[in-house]
A and B are shown apart, each in its own frame.
Chain A
Amino acid sequence: MKNSILTIMKKEFVRFFTDRRMVLTTVIMPGLMIYLLYSFMGSGLASQFETDEDYVSNVYAVDLPESVRAMEEGAPVEFTQVSAEDVDKSLDALENGEAGFDLLAVFPKDFDAQVAAYDVAAGGEAPAVKLYYNSTDSDSQSSYHVMTGLLDTYESALANKFDVNPGEDTYDLATEEDMSAQIFSMMVPMLMMVFLFSGCMAVAPESIAGEKERGTIATLLVTPMKRSHLAIGKIISLSAIAILSGLSSFLGTMLSLPKMMGDMEGVNANVYKMTDYILVLLVVLSTVLVIITLVSIISAFARNVKEATGWVTPVMIISMLLGVTSMVESLCMTDPVWFLIPLYNSAQSMNGIFSMDVNVVNIVVTVVSNVCYAGIGVFVLAKMFDSEKVMFSK
């Protein structure tokens, strides 16, 4: 009666897909929310640190030397000479964010003469320029960078013995692929572990502990269906739903991650080939099977959904910690034996794929071991469905 597996799967799908609220909260919302959240975060962060390219910094200067004033031409900066008596008032205004300027530069009197007279070899105290700014104001922060850049260039020009990376040539040899691989391999495995677990948590406790709580699982248990068929039907259908939820989050992440990085040049998901995505999908499928089985077993022990969710939460934290290992190089092992550890193997395999350092043996070990763990889990779940102590505990 293999049909009973299909019947159970069909029932789970009907239950899920005809409930618009469940579809919305489990499949559509995660991806959409992640996309919007990351995009807004990226825009917010970018606007925090970026200023208008045409913006001209308004710099108040005390004892502005001629050499620096000459730089005004060709630089996005406009100087206004103020007297030394105005310094305190200007600092207060800058601190309170009420200043009509972006930065206050205080030069020593006779700056140019002091610079000319200064002997580096003598090691005396060099003439100091003080730049006051407010880092919480993006214009002020930007003006600070403009001024330090300007003064550094001036300082270099005074004793130009050699240049580093002169001209317009490209010296950073990282390719677009390298940059994307670095960003995605660091972020995505950890995020995927969280999203996949969240997807599983959204469906499994409700389907197992919920049915137990409502007394509907007993109605299934008096039918001639094998307990193992019930377990397999539940695991496969719940995995499929959890994968949809995970894929929704995955899509949201891949599409919005470049935006979160402030549209960093070169970072995009197009650098990966179809085979990379197929490998990711294989790892994700096997990972979801393991998580769903684990959550289902815990849910079968629980008396109700609330209890199941409470028991699953610590496991989710462990899963997140294992996901974080992909961000720490010293925890990234390459020996295949390490890839027998469930969840760790998934995070590491995804890390390998996204960093374009695919180790086929390790991925095979991951997928095969995960399927084996899920098989053992199905066996345990079937035994639990057959145990009156577990299924009818009050």
Chain B
Amino acid sequence: MKELLKVQNLRKTFKISAKQQKIERTKQRLKVAVDDLSFTAYEGEVFGLLGPNGAGKTTTLRIMSALVKPDKGDVLVDGASVVKNPEEVRGKIGFLTSELKLEEFFTPNYLFQFFSELHGVDKAVAETRKQNLFEKFGITKFAEVKVGDLSTGMKQKISLVISIVHDPDIIIFDEPTNGLDVLTAKVVTDFLLELKGQGKTIVVSTHIFSLIEKICDRVGVIIDGKMAVCDTLDNLTAEKPLEEKFFDIFAERAGGIDEK
């Protein structure tokens, strides 16, 4: 299988402000968010990143989407390096995270057209894609309503749709169902399965075990910025449910990488 997304020895540190040092009662000036992290996502598979809050999942995804730069290491996205060719990488991926907000003054229609233009999508293609996606997510009747006047769930759906205006082969979603009601979460989960069916390569970070169990082929467990375990979902859940397995790993946490 083709290695579509290759994370190589990634390391990322952040400076801790004096204020944060006081809050965390530490004298350390640097926080290691991601520490020598490596994994690979193959073409057509769904790779899940599982870990507690602050484990380094979001930082990893932000580096993968060329939004921030790594201190060390690299990520190759379909052969393009996030360090050397960040613009090429951004053109190849669709990235969704709660940090990315939409201008509330604009309508879904305008935003779809705007981001399509930025991704260089042909007008006619963008229009067809918009109609399909808006229909699928029930956005059509709100297409001319300002985003600021819509519900949180609808905003999340629009963000998701906007993130894939260019129909990317690699999709990186950070906590895609976080904060959503069960109905909207189901729509998002079903859509991820549909994308998987279309052969897209998906990396999804979450701490919702059921989502991982539903859609992922392989799972990487990140603890304190390190890859604790990286294996197929089948192998991880062979002996016990994923949730129990995760807590076992978390308890051990000192274990090395065991990638298969």
Contact = CB atoms under 8 A, between A and B. Distances in A.
Interface stretch (A63-71, A174-182, A214-222, A289-297): A214-222
B101 A218 contact: yes
B102 interface: yes
Given A7-B114, A15-B103, A216-B103, A224 B88 contact: yes
Given A7-B114, A14-B110, A224 B119 contact: yes
Interface SS of chain A: helix
A224 B99 contact: no
Contact of A222 (B95, B104, B117, B120): B95
Contacts of B102: 216, 219
A1 B120 contact: yes
Interface of B: 65-69, 87-88, 90-91, 95, 99-106, 110, 114-115, 117-120, 162
A14 B109 CA distance: 13
Contact of B67 (A3, A211, A221, A225): A221
Contacts of A225: 87, 118
Contacts of A15: 103, 105-106
A54 interface: no
A7 B121 CA distance: 12
B115 A223 contact: yes
Nearest to A218: B100
A14 B113 CA distance: 13
7 contacts: A3-B120, A215-B101, A216-B103, A221-B67, A222-B90, A224-B88, A392-B68
B91 A218 contact: no
Interface string A157-169: 0000000000000
Given A11-B114, A214-B103, A219-B100, 11 more contacts: A4-B117, A7-B114, A215-B99, A216-B103, A218-B100, A219-B102, A223-B115, A224-B91, A224-B118, A224-B119, A392-B68
Interface SS of chain B: loop
Contacts of A1: 120
Interface string A193-229: 0000000000000000001001110111111111000
Nearest to A22: B105
Given A1-B120, A388-B69, A223 B90 contact: yes
A19 B117 CA distance: 22
A19 B105 contact: yes
B117 A7 contact: yes
A227 to B, nearest CB: 9
B55 to A, nearest CB: 19
Enumerate the 10 nearest inter-chain pairs by beta-carbon distance, A residue then B residue, closest first. Answer: A224-B91, A215-B101, A219-B100, A223-B118, A388-B68, A7-B117, A224-B90, A224-B87, A222-B95, A216-B103
Contact of A218 (B67, B88, B105, B118): B67
Nearest to B115: A223
A7 B111 CA distance: 11
A1 B87 CA distance: 11
A225 B90 CA distance: 8
A226 B85 CA distance: 11
Nearest to B91: A224
Contacts of A14: 106, 110
Contacts of B66: 222
A222 B88 contact: no
Contacts of A221: 67
Interface in A64-119: none
A109 B152 CA distance: 94
Contacts of B69: 388
Contacts of B99: 215, 218
B118 A220 contact: yes
Nearest to A7: B117
A219 B102 CA distance: 7
Given A7-B118, A214-B101, A388 B67 contact: yes
A220 B103 CA distance: 10
Contacts of B90: 222-224
B126 to A, nearest CB: 12
A211, A222, A224: residue with the most chain B Cβ atoms closer than 10 Å: A222
B210 to A, nearest CB: 28
A270 B91 CA distance: 55
A214 to B, nearest CB: 6
A7 B67 CA distance: 21
Nearest to B96: A222
Interface in A8-46: 11, 14-15, 19
